[in-house]
Amino acid sequence: MQIKNDLLLRVIKGEAVERTPVWLMRQAGRILPEYRAVRASVSGFVELAQTPELAAEVTIQPVDLLGVDAAIIFSDILVVPEAMGLPYEMVEKRGPWFPQTIGSAADLKKLRVADPKTHLHYVLEAIKISKKGLNGRVPLIGFAGAPWTLFAYMVEGSGSKTFSRARAMLYQNPGLAHQLLDLITKTTIKYLKAQVEAGVNLVQVFDSWAGILPPDQYREFSLPYIDKICEAVTEVPVTVFAKGAYFSLKDFLHTRCETVGLDWNMEIGEVRDIFKKEKTLQGNLDPAALYAPDEVLVAKTQDMLTQFKGSRHIANLGHGVYPDTSPDKVRLFIQTVKEFSSEE
């Protein structure tokens, strides 16, 4: 299907574009009253994510209501551990929780390399329904968590400030850690390829907990597995977003991904010096800037765009949009990107 607004795909290819494309991480989420209404119709997040028609509905909402240049399938990175045999619960106001965790070789034997068409069929169905609903208006982004980030949850059992249990395993039983990371990687490759087959136009790998590792461990326990995913998924462009891993940017120069996502702590000028025009760069406005007065938000957005000028750039936040952000502020951010670019 021909995509009418293909700005995102063109900028990733390095082609000239009329303006900077813009979308937001977590755009299909709690900021929209329309999303909250759909979520209120079911028992909670997990049921919403596992109901393809509803997941597709909230995937498309930001395109209609915010005017973004891409949709991202509504799901969660933790569907992969669940598909591998480690179920999770989404606890209100606390986040994900795993009743069982991985701590030994015996625990590892309970896991499987998931078959996406069997164990993640609901995501693939949501992609197909979303594609039909979008009708070629904008690209659809698929995604998965990076192996290290999924490992962190599977060993820790929940979110954490330190992930001390997960990090302890890297020192105490690195062999077991690599076995688990390999299983996650094999499942993730199958899952992303299945998403492509179902219709996504590009994929993003979220390494949300990249920044809690020291550089040497990141290069041992995360980067090689991201590299394997990027080497395997060649059908569509791949974006890697490694939050907090400033030290790894030079490594990503040699990773077979087309786009590198930047968090808001990364200096744009320094990043541009690293990548030149070898990669498309995505980001990186501070999500908290959307709390600012309108004129400050506009100025911050314009400053970001000015700093990226001359680069292959996708405008986005440096992390997911915060749940108590006003939709009007999000619209102002998007409008500012579009107007800034069209005035060039």
Please say if 30 is a catalytic residue: yes
**Distance (Å, whole) CA 51 – CA 75:** 10
Q: Is 145 left (phi over 0), alpha (psi -120 to 50) or beta?
A: beta
E-only strand ranges, the chain: 71-72, 89-91, 95-97, 140-145, 202-207, 238-242, 259-261, 280-285, 313-317
Determine the Cα–Cα distance for residues 154 and 160; give it in Å rounded to an integer. Answer: 12
218 is known as an active-site residue: no
**26: its two tokens:** 């977590």
Annotated catalytic residue: which of 10, 26, 165, 256?
26
Q: In Å, how far from its chain's centre is CA 224?
A: 19
Cβ-contact 141, 200 below 8 angstroms: yes
- Burial, 33: exposed, middle or buried (Cβ in 10 Å; 0-12, 13-18, 19+)? exposed
Q: Pull the structure tokens for residue 17.
A: 């574009």
Residues sharing a CB contact under 8 Å with residue 262, sequence separation 6 or more, in sequence order: 268, 271, 281, 282, 283, 284, 318
Asked if 76 is an active-site residue, the reply is yes
Active site residue 39: yes
Tokens of 234: 């060649």
C-beta of residue 84 within 8 angstroms of C-beta of residue 68? no
Considering 6, 35, 39, 263, which one is annotated as catalytic? 39
Catalytic one among 6, 19, 88, 153?
A: 153
Residues 284, 249 contacting (CB under 8 angstroms): no
Residue keyed to tokens 């990076």: 146
The half-sphere exposure of 306 on its side-chain side, counting CA atoms within 13 A, is: 6
As a whole number of angstroms, the distance between CA 339 and CA 344 comes to 9
Q: Is 19 part of the annotated catalytic residue set? A: no
**Choosing from 30, 219, 256, 331, which is the catalytic residue?**
30
Given 10, 36, 76, 107, the catalytic residue: 76
> Active-site residues: which are they?
26, 30, 39, 76, 153
